Structure 1
């Protein structure tokens, strides 16, 4: 917190923090940079590392607050103030298990460790582990553990969970932080003595015996003159410790101003043996000290030390984070966000933080939200420094990391009265775990503890968040129907794919674009439909994240007048495909409007222009616009927007002027001239082209050649974290890496003239095909646009080879239909089967002579001769005698105990599980912990085409919201299956259906309500699915309550001819919980059986 903003909600929160700190409740307490997410476009880029997903995984819950966590192997130890724990999804007051301020759980499953249950008579504020993981150390306010005296610090064996009898140091006040080497345990806190020996907030004891060691550094208090509320109290409490340098150094943080009399405000380094002060350069930029401000936490990845700050009307300069080199404390970066920060954890190139950040514009991220402040309680940043802090404080101009596109929604808790959510974060690389006082994550009940995981271990169900405003607008523009829509956000994916469909969602999209968006920056995107015939049509937009989570908009309808839609323009299509958010062809024959073909930012074209002059694009009849160089010779957008910090601007120009002039720029006025302007592309009096931005000072790049030669030239300028770049005629002519931002401002794009930085304000010449992008175009994209525009022939894009394979005995079926060509078509598929044989064709069948694994290579050729290859492994097996007629191909009674997954079926091989499942007590359990959750389990061993499969299912509770589905699958391949669904509604109604699942998209084929069946929790339903036929398959299903007669006839039936599902496959079961559900559901499955159809 800080006094830099004084809105009432902030003041209230800050006041509560101050009161609770002093009372001891805490245990003493510009838009547009590139961002990564859980599926970044370039995970190798240090600025865009892959994060965990935003799916909260089921985790044991607590009834209070968790202050600290440590991970040892696969066990998470959580310390705090709580009295009980309960399973994931359980409402408060149900299924409670006593736990007294300390617990442990399995990081892989989130399940409480039933054997670790020490009883602490006061809160535990900190927990850490010995370097070898053999013990954990706990500190806090307690004076007893399991009724044995332990004065505010204790140790436990991780092997036995038992309190260590020979470790009994006694602090006379709160122990807030502990760090350890193999030989020494370092303590920090409020204490003034350990045992009967004076120690000033810092002490060291023997790890073996707990005996006090002669390590006596002295943290000192600072002045109170910086306290903006007139508070004259001060403090030198130590809040955080980490050991670095292989045990040679201890880094301390807290409320102190000096260490051993040496200035070390908020954070400093100490010799681990002598306690002498060591240099730690980052503290030169930090003013956090005293009762109103502190460096709150420290963590280390061995290379860097990461710290967090808070400030409430005190002298503090930092509410965000810092990264400093572990050796010497050299600044790596600062995160100058407003909103206190409490913990960090660095892994795999990402630093996760628990905080309540509410304004991060100083690092190029989200600004303060008005009128309602929004807090980001969980954040992620790159370990790498990629930008610069732009605020006004001591860290202005210092490096900054990239704020990642990861933001699960934590609900703030009420236990401490501070409105905070998370207080601690740590992990083990695969999992990131938060602890605190939050009651829910992403709107689903999960109190105090939560896990997140890398995509391979996560649910991957958090997708685009849409609402009623997600609907396209259709506008008739010259030669096309323009479809525009407001972007949507995804909590763990920045880049989303939008597809526009005309008349039918099953139709091929009329356009497809992948664009970035963040919760605080939702641009309007669009594209042009040039294929609509005259008459009434309707359009919808779908949005899909990298994990296949998909939402569809409502339909919008418009009437296309006869003759109003022209033929597609290849150049326009290429610009759209590369992500342009605004495209002005400037080819209107007359009028004062310049249509935006990919966005809503139409231009007002002023009087000093002439329309319908010959255009720049070879082979394109679209025209250009002549600008006269006078004060009315410009065009400008009509709606003010925030100026982007990452962008490309593109245009074609032709001129012979010697006066120079503005080609395109961003200004604060759309009439007259701007007094504030930036992001300028302009020509000087010599004919050179320049690109300039103003991040507090003028920064420009310039061509060396002149381009006022009367010929058309292609000009592109880009700004990104890589710096500034200027391209002319497809070639980069200038660049600089030291400028990565422009002036934060609001304004309008202006074409043809505005206040100039060199040469005349207004441009005399012709301008054509102007576009704005929300990304920095690559050199390849720029070159491709220039080639297409200047020759009429785009540079050929190589195709992509892809294939799938299925094998039965010694025969493999290979399908290359997944190969694609972005700018044409595939004309030839050539196969090398890996055994000396070859073949051609989109789909081929090959019989091998012997069992084994073969390296199969597909080579594809496109319509312009470019080739691409893909090699994959295909395994074939010798035929074996089939089962006797009527024998099961799969069967499972789940008479085994498996904590994670379902193990191996009695017949059919191992279950392949996605989601959370376990087996025990004669049933398999599919956990659906929250709305939108899915868990599936498949047996790929039984490969059967004509199959009947059956399962007994039950639910432990009626679902809420839109209900729950249980699926029984047949002909299961890796990407598709046929399935029977049994839906149970919140009122107990049961609906039986048939559907097809393909590439993650379910197509419902039939549905029938089961008359006279009302489901009650715990009751067993039997479901049967039969799939027969080839070419056109017949699907039959029935379901009935156990203990009643099986229906004689199938209750629902249909046919389907999907080519990918006309061969053999496995079987499976799955569960899905409606996204509107508010309580978890456990699906129990038993007596799975599958055999040949007719049995």
Structure 2
């Protein structure tokens, strides 16, 4: 089969309870100024911008006492958070002070400190394991209701439901309605307490899975909403007229409705039924805000619904559906954002991250911030995810991770509390409870990974993969050139944990033949700044590099040149595509020679696990072109380039690919529901360990395969299946395709991969092939083999081992540099030459004077040269450097090309001298600072 669509399957989960969230916290978010940084580009933001709004909490977890089991339930009142579950003790946070305390299935904690309060309650049962599954606080904040499976609270007999006087922290002995089975959910009004669970009777009367009792006395009320399967969630609409029911059921009061129903708050009469939740999914939680209500859903098996639904309170109809997979346990709307706990691992149906790692805590808008999108498969997609992404783990029990959430306030600070089964938060040990504040964002973004490229004079393209910040999706990037402390550009860009687009900036002030370095930082809204990226270096060509320039001119929207120097990202060199790649399992970098003449390098792949994929999810239009260069001697075949529905994991849908068979033939495949392929001839094999150029096009004219500029075959197949996915280089699924090779992965080198949104013509393909072999500029960088300076104030001192060099007119400092110059490559001439030096970090290292670079005509050595023995300098300058600012930075001096050409292939010395009184201090070749050593940058090209 051509494209294999594999339904998402998730492991089954045992039934589990939860409940309740804090209500009515609508006070304005209080944010604090947070400052951190590297010292470069530090920006102090106003308080209201400390977190990327509308996210209301940082992702920096605070020290919190932790139970030794599982937290199922949570609510708050007056700055105290109540947590219930299945545990026997609480202990301080790791590294905190204090001794472990007994806490039998319940603990009360100070919202601001995370430490236990004086309120101690013990929930026990004579037979079996007691557990607290749901907590809810009365509207007047005076009573805490607890449900679960227990027979006593502090020795006071109860039956799986209890009322606690919050002020005295004592159970109300007069409140003891009899619930003979587990209570899993509670909701309360001024006078009524609603319960959901496993029970079939209450007080000896039939109440199947849902019931209502008097909130003061516990007396059973007439409300009847009998369901055929367990109830897990119950919520009252804000107007008090209706009750929202969630659970496993398929009928309520005889009406067919699965997992969700709306009933009258007084009688229990069914007001709204639902039939669109799959039969293998249940509702685990329901919450409301002023205009809507939201469900958290869990299921098991094929076609499962595991995400969230947003519904209107006006007519109880569905507004949107989030079909991410991953067992949603809890939903909490707060100030326009829906926070949720789950282990979402596949949001493909939402146009977001594919099946992969688990994301335990998410935030998204409660409503679309513009017109709702058109339905997909009959459902309106959910509002966008936001940049709030603390990490957790599966943890204990069922391995669900977080299960319950609550917002509490104290001292004008809001706290998001999270409980569940997890044992790690943000990668550090923390069990069952954690919390996040509305203030104090201290987490800096990850460090950008930068690269630089130039394909023509006067232009350098600086690219970086956007950083990730757990609570800020909008980041500010600053670009620093040649080590300067002041940025040359500021760029704003958005990113999420699973969506890290490339950002870029084009420097149009660069000069041909000179080298430049760039570093980038990322700053969040609170002013926290990442470390500087590693240095990205580029030399500006003296003439247009014809091959890459033509690829860009012909409209490539993805262009991976594989000249990257660091892992794990691959830069996109297209004009505006910004579709960077992610290296998987460490392909080999900087393999030489590359496919294109000049300084190009390639990437090596091992044929078993290595690839590069784009994490930019997209669909491919009706016309496209795939282009790459390859070199291999493999006999196991493999995929060179292709499109697939997943990133790191093997794709379930895959086509629009070029792969090699075991004997070295090439196959271009695309699917319109069945496999359509074009192959090279029986004897056209290309595993000869030589560079080859392959281009595959599809469009209105059908499919065509080109190799080394020649048409190797066509097929009249213009249509292709449309699905969202990612481009892959070096490997991905090939199951079911004709002449499938032994390996899905390619063993060999790949270079200059490009994807176009059009079908290139044969003339364009041939032109690319020819340009790759055309003469091109090459750059040689020659580091000083020896350097020193002389000092008139110490006329007998030699400075040959000094880490710095100095230049001044009066009293005199002079610097001498020696270079072993290469000869010009055959058929090429020197097109440009420049001297690159770097000022030191000492105060006043720059100079206001003009420094001249002149030939050294006398002899000298680093060990023996002093002011008294200094060599003679020439009088005709090779180049000049003027007005060098203070601060350590790189500087280029353009040199006389004719003069340098005359001394190619020799050991050549030059001196630096000036006539003023302001000294220039430079690093020498003995210095260990980055890019410290003086060097010549020589550009050679065709005559």
- So what's the TM-score if we normalise by structure 1? 0.47
Bigger radius of gyration: 2
Report whether the alignment pairs 1:154 with 2:147. no
Corresponding residue number in structure 1 for 2:320: 333
Report whether the alignment pairs 1:402 with 2:384. yes
Corresponding residue number in structure 2 for 1:744: 724
Report whether the alignment pairs 1:461 with 2:454. no
**Is this contact kept in 1: 2:18–2:284, CA < 8 A?**
no
**Is this contact kept in 2: 1:595–1:602, CA < 8 A?**
no
**Is this contact kept in 2: 1:362–1:390, CA < 8 A?**
no
Alignment of 1:103-252 (within 5 A): 103-121=107-125, 122-220=130-228, 236-252=229-245
Q: 2:266 aligns with which of 264, 273, 279?
A: 273
Report whether the alignment pairs 1:303 with 2:291. yes
Per the alignment, do residues 754 and 557 of structure 1 end up closer, same or farther by CA in structure 2, a change over 3 Å counting?
closer
Residues 328-350 of structure 1: CA distance to partner in whole angstroms, max 9, x if unpaired? 31112211111110101001100
Q: 1:81 aligns with which of 61, 86, 90?
A: 86
CA distance in 2, matches of 1:526, 1:62: 47
**Is this contact kept in 1: 2:560–2:571, CA < 8 A?**
no
- TM-aligned CA deviation for residue 166 of structure 1: 1.1
Alignment of 1:977-988 (within 5 A): none
Alignment of 1:695-1094 (within 5 A): 744-746=724-726, 750=756
Corresponding residue SS for 1:402: coil
CA distance in 1, matches of 2:167, 2:366: 34
CA distance in 2, matches of 1:197, 1:644: 56
Report whether the alignment pairs 1:284 with 2:275. yes
Report whether the alignment pairs 1:524 with 2:506. no
Corresponding residue SS for 1:252: strand
Per the alignment, do residues 564 and 62 of structure 1 end up closer, same or farther by CA in structure 2, a change over 3 Å counting?
farther
Corresponding residue number in structure 1 for 2:936: none
Corresponding residue number in structure 2 for 1:49: 54
CA distance in 2, matches of 1:178, 1:334: 25
- TM-aligned CA deviation for residue 398 of structure 1: 2.2
Residues 679-714 of structure 1: CA distance to partner in whole angstroms, max 9, x if unpaired? xxxxxxxxxxxxxxxxxxxxxxxxxxxxxxxxxxxx
Corresponding residue number in structure 1 for 2:488: 510
- TM-aligned CA deviation for residue 366 of structure 1: 1.6
- TM-aligned CA deviation for residue 75 of structure 1: 1.7
Corresponding residue number in structure 1 for 2:477: 498
Per the alignment, do residues 644 and 511 of structure 1 end up closer, same or farther by CA in structure 2, a change over 3 Å counting?
farther
User: Where does structure 2 lack aligned partners over 5 or more consecutive residues?
Assistant: 20-30, 33-44, 564-569, 577-611, 629-640, 644-721, 728-753, 765-840, 844-943
Corresponding residue SS for 1:490: coil
Per the alignment, do residues 173 and 119 of structure 1 end up closer, same or farther by CA in structure 2, a change over 3 Å counting?
closer
Report whether the alignment pairs 1:426 with 2:406. yes
- TM-aligned CA deviation for residue 525 of structure 1: 2.8
- TM-aligned CA deviation for residue 49 of structure 1: 2.6
- TM-aligned CA deviation for residue 527 of structure 1: 2.4
CA distance in 2, matches of 1:493, 1:510: 24
Larger RCO, structure (CA 8 Å, separation 6 or more): 2
Corresponding residue SS for 1:400: coil
- So what's the TM-score if we normalise by structure 2? 0.54
- TM-aligned CA deviation for residue 320 of structure 1: 0.3
Report whether the alignment pairs 1:364 with 2:355. no
CA distance in 2, matches of 1:284, 1:593: 48
User: Where does structure 1 lack aligned partners over 5 or more consecutive residues?
Assistant: 28-37, 221-235, 567-581, 605-638, 647-663, 677-741, 756-761, 763-1002, 1006-1095
Alignment of 1:293-692 (within 5 A): 293-313=281-301, 318-368=305-355, 373-385=356-368, 396-413=378-395, 415-416=396-397, 418-428=398-408, 430-454=414-438, 457=439, 459-466=440-447, 470-475=449-454, 477-506=456-485, 508-532=486-510, 535-556=514-535, 558=537, 560=539, 586=553, 600-602=572-574, 667-670=623-626
Residues 948-994 of structure 1: CA distance to partner in whole angstroms, max 9, x if unpaired? xxxxxxxxxxxxxxxxxxxxxxxxxxxxxxxxxxxxxxxxxxxxxxx
Residues 380-409 of structure 1: CA distance to partner in whole angstroms, max 9, x if unpaired? 11011357688976xx33252111122111
Residues 27-74 of structure 1: CA distance to partner in whole angstroms, max 9, x if unpaired? 9xxxxxxxxxx9999x99xx9733422111222211111111112232
CA distance in 1, matches of 2:535, 2:222: 77
- TM-aligned CA deviation for residue 523 of structure 1: 2.7
Residues 458-498 of structure 1: CA distance to partner in whole angstroms, max 9, x if unpaired? x211221248xx24344454323333222221112222222
**Is this contact kept in 2: 1:387–1:401, CA < 8 A?**
no
State the superposition RMSD in angstroms: 4.5
Per the alignment, do residues 644 and 217 of structure 1 end up closer, same or farther by CA in structure 2, a change over 3 Å counting?
closer
Per the alignment, do residues 198 and 555 of structure 1 end up closer, same or farther by CA in structure 2, a change over 3 Å counting?
closer
**Is this contact kept in 2: 1:299–1:305, CA < 8 A?**
yes
CA distance in 2, matches of 1:485, 1:404: 22
Per the alignment, do residues 67 and 562 of structure 1 end up closer, same or farther by CA in structure 2, a change over 3 Å counting?
closer
- TM-aligned CA deviation for residue 379 of structure 1: 0.7
Residues 1018-1061 of structure 1: CA distance to partner in whole angstroms, max 9, x if unpaired? xxxxxxxxxxxxxxxxxxxxxxxxxxxxxxxxxxxxxxxxxxxx
**Is this contact kept in 2: 1:668–1:675, CA < 8 A?**
no
Alignment of 1:10-29 (within 5 A): 14-15=11-12, 17-18=13-14, 21=15
- TM-aligned CA deviation for residue 586 of structure 1: 4.7
Per the alignment, do residues 541 and 205 of structure 1 end up closer, same or farther by CA in structure 2, a change over 3 Å counting?
same
Per the alignment, do residues 558 and 266 of structure 1 end up closer, same or farther by CA in structure 2, a change over 3 Å counting?
closer
**Is this contact kept in 2: 1:525–1:599, CA < 8 A?**
no
CA distance in 1, matches of 2:173, 2:842: 64
**Is this contact kept in 2: 1:476–1:560, CA < 8 A?**
no
Per the alignment, do residues 115 and 587 of structure 1 end up closer, same or farther by CA in structure 2, a change over 3 Å counting?
closer
**Is this contact kept in 2: 1:244–1:302, CA < 8 A?**
no
Residues 587-628 of structure 1: CA distance to partner in whole angstroms, max 9, x if unpaired? 99xxx99999x9633489xxxxxxxxxxxxxxxxxxxxxxxx
- TM-aligned CA deviation for residue 201 of structure 1: 1.5
**Is this contact kept in 1: 2:452–2:538, CA < 8 A?**
no
Per the alignment, do residues 536 and 164 of structure 1 end up closer, same or farther by CA in structure 2, a change over 3 Å counting?
same
**Is this contact kept in 2: 1:642–1:744, CA < 8 A?**
no
**Is this contact kept in 1: 2:149–2:183, CA < 8 A?**
yes
**Is this contact kept in 2: 1:363–1:387, CA < 8 A?**
no
Corresponding residue SS for 1:298: strand
Residues 290-316 of structure 1: CA distance to partner in whole angstroms, max 9, x if unpaired? xx53111111124322111111127x7
CA distance in 2, matches of 1:49, 1:667: 40
CA distance in 2, matches of 1:753, 1:595: 23
**Is this contact kept in 2: 1:461–1:549, CA < 8 A?**
yes
Per the alignment, do residues 505 and 389 of structure 1 end up closer, same or farther by CA in structure 2, a change over 3 Å counting?
same
Per the alignment, do residues 253 and 471 of structure 1 end up closer, same or farther by CA in structure 2, a change over 3 Å counting?
same
Residues 839-889 of structure 1: CA distance to partner in whole angstroms, max 9, x if unpaired? xxxxxxxxxxxxxxxxxxxxxxxxxxxxxxxxxxxxxxxxxxxxxxxxxxx
CA distance in 2, matches of 1:643, 1:64: 40
Corresponding residue SS for 1:552: coil
Per the alignment, do residues 26 and 74 of structure 1 end up closer, same or farther by CA in structure 2, a change over 3 Å counting?
closer
Per the alignment, do residues 524 and 163 of structure 1 end up closer, same or farther by CA in structure 2, a change over 3 Å counting?
same
